[in-house]
Amino acid sequence: MTIPTATVFRGVRPFGVDGATDLVAVDGRLAAAVPEGARVEEVDGRGRIALPTLVDAHIHPDKTAWSEPWYSRRAAGGLPEYVRGDVELYEHQRTPLAERAGRLLAHAVTRGTRAVRAHVDVAPAYGLAGVEGLAAARERLSPALDVQVVAFPQHGVRRTPGAGALLAEAAASGLIDAVGGIDPAGFDGVGEDGEGPAQLDQVFGLAEKHGLQLDVHLHDIGERGLTPLRDIAARTKAAGLQGRAVVSHAFCVPELSGAELAGLAELLADAGIGPTTVAPSAHQVLPFRELRAHGVKVGLGSDGVRDSWSPFGNADMLHRAHLLGWTTDARTDEEPARRHVAGTRAFALTALGD
Ligand SMILES: [Zn+2]
């Protein structure tokens, strides 16, 4: 029989409550008491605040230039130009992808992150280098970090010849947890042009065939965003993928209010879709309160960190929670705390198991 290891955190304040208490973790999970015969180690909490370990529900570690020499970005407008910038930076970088991604994620661990959902580009420009690199980084960091890998068709499935076949290869590789998508009606439009069936047909087909989760980037606003969002909800229900589908950003949602927002929130709740936000700005951040009131769990993430898109970002989820409070104009003591907890717990993986 293996002897359990208990860690006793002496004198900490869970969620910042008044008065210090002790917390006990047994083999990495919170427990009511130290079990008999356990090996015990103690940590002096010195009255500090104790929080659940953090979750980054949306990050792009394959694109990062974290800890690399400074990279001067050119102005870009619109997805095609950003995508070209990604490829340029990728070709410019000399440090192997697995090492760059691993370094960024290791830094996230030092800032309290215990689980991430990593989107990695799958496109002919890279082949499966992102998927394989992240799988290697995940392996190395596995004692400290849970990593979910999303195969993300950043260049579009239909607009980029060969991308659909690569996505299918990634889905069959056994290295990914979720298949991604991007703006099915806009950037990767469903018109007559383009390769293969409509994007959502392809990605839902792969998710069902390989038992994968889904995570679709949706930047489009207005009906161009809302129509695919309703479609994703309907397909998620039809495929029995409730609780396994995420829509990232969903910039069309913050535009809604009143009955329209309530109706959409009910649709998302019914389909078990958990959207994620990176709190980019006041008009693009998801309306947390309204969505949560309808039972929709909202995840919080870093997005790109010092990549071709932006020189900003630090993979620090406490800082991201701060940005969330900032963009949503939080003022009272309760609000930032609630948002922080929403950000940490909304994602499927938490150290507390709830
Ligand atoms: Zn993203």
Per-residue pLDDT of the chain (354 residues; tens, 9 = 90+): 688 899 999 999 988 888 999 999 998 788 999 999 999 999 999 999 888 889 999 999 999 999 999 999 999 989 999 999 999 999 999 999 999 999 999 999 999 999 999 999 999 999 999 999 999 999 999 989 999 999 999 999 999 999 999 999 999 999 999 999 999 999 998 555 666 779 999 999 999 999 999 999 999 999 999 999 999 999 999 999 999 999 999 999 999 999 999 999 999 999 999 999 999 999 999 998 899 999 999 999 999 999 999 999 999 998 998 898 889 888 877 665 555 554 444 332 332 222
185 and 293: one domain?
yes
Q: Which of 66, 175, 78 is nearest to 122 (CA)?
A: 175
Q: Distance, CA 249 to ligand 1 centroid (Å)?
A: 8
Q: Distance, CA 248 to ligand 1 centroid (Å)?
A: 7
Alpha carbon of 198 to those of 24, 134, 179: distances in Å?
51, 28, 15
Q: Distance, CA 266 to ligand 1 centroid (Å)?
A: 24
> 32, 24 in Cβ contact below 8 A?
yes
Please give the pLDDT value at position 49: 87
User: Which domain range does residue 18 map to?
Assistant: 5-49
> 126, 90 in Cβ contact below 8 A?
yes
Q: Does residue 325 fall inside a structural domain? A: yes
Alpha carbon of 352 to those of 58, 61, 272: distances in Å?
20, 25, 21
Query: How many C-alpha atoms does 186 have within 13 Å on its Cβ side?
Result: 20
39 and 76: one domain?
no
Q: What CATH number is associated with residue 223?
A: 3.20.20.140
Please give the pLDDT value at position 289: 84
Q: Distance, CA 303 to ligand 1 centroid (Å)?
A: 5
Cα pseudo-dihedral 139, 145, 149, 150, rounded to 10: -170
Longest dimension (CA), the chain: 68
β-bridge pairing 178-182 and 146-152: parallel
45 and 68: one domain?
no
Q: Distance, CA 119 to ligand 1 centroid (Å)?
A: 7
Q: Distance, CA 304 to ligand 1 centroid (Å)?
A: 7
Cα pseudo-dihedral 120, 77, 218, 323, rounded to 10: 80
* Site of tokens 């490829």: 87
Alpha carbon of 28 to those of 33, 51, 131, 189, 325: distances in Å?
13, 14, 28, 46, 30
> 47, 12 in Cβ contact below 8 A?
yes
307 and 207: one domain?
yes
Q: How many domains does the chain have?
A: 2
Q: Distance, CA 341 to ligand 1 centroid (Å)?
A: 21
132 and 36: one domain?
no
Q: Does residue 263 fall inside a structural domain? A: yes
213 and 90: one domain?
yes
Please give the pLDDT value at position 330: 81
84 and 9: one domain?
no
Q: Which of 235, 175, 228, 230 is nearest to 205 (CA)?
A: 235
Q: Does residue 92 fall inside a structural domain? A: yes
> 59, 314 in Cβ contact below 8 A?
no
Please give the pLDDT value at position 189: 85
Those residues whose C-beta lies under 8 Å from the C-beta of residue 301, and which sit 6 or more positions away, are 56, 57, 58, 59, 117, 248, 276, 277, 278, 320
Whole-angstrom distance, CA of residue 137 vs CA of residue 145: 10
Whole-angstrom distance, CA of residue 217 vs CA of residue 292: 20
* Final residue in a domain of this structure, among 49, 66, 84: 49
Q: Does residue 33 fall inside a structural domain? A: yes
Tokens of 9: 């955190």
273 and 134: one domain?
yes
Q: Distance, CA 14 to ligand 1 centroid (Å)?
A: 32
Whole-angstrom distance, CA of residue 324 vs CA of residue 190: 33
Q: Does residue 319 fall inside a structural domain? A: yes
Q: Does residue 64 fall inside a structural domain? A: yes
Q: Distance, CA 217 to ligand 1 centroid (Å)?
A: 6
253 and 180: one domain?
yes
Q: What is the DSSP string of 90-125?
A: HHH--S-HHHHHHHHHHHHHHTTEEEEEEEEE-BTT
Please give the pLDDT value at position 336: 55
Q: Distance, CA 90 to ligand 1 centroid (Å)?
A: 16
Q: Where are the alpha helices (DSSP H) in the chain?
A: 79-92, 97-110, 129-141, 163-172, 199-210, 223-238, 258-271, 288-293, 317-327, 334-345
Q: Distance, CA 267 to ligand 1 centroid (Å)?
A: 23
Whole-angstrom distance, CA of residue 95 vs CA of residue 259: 50
177 and 252: one domain?
yes
Q: Does residue 353 fall inside a structural domain? A: no
321 and 280: one domain?
yes
Q: Does residue 351 fall inside a structural domain? A: no
Q: Distance, CA 51 to ligand 1 centroid (Å)?
A: 26
Q: Distance, CA 216 to ligand 1 centroid (Å)?
A: 9
In this structure, which amino acid lies at residue 214?
Answer: L
pTM: 0.90
100 and 23: one domain?
no
Q: Distance, CA 60 to ligand 1 centroid (Å)?
A: 6
* Final residue in a domain of this structure, among 49, 67, 83: 49
Please give the pLDDT value at position 296: 95
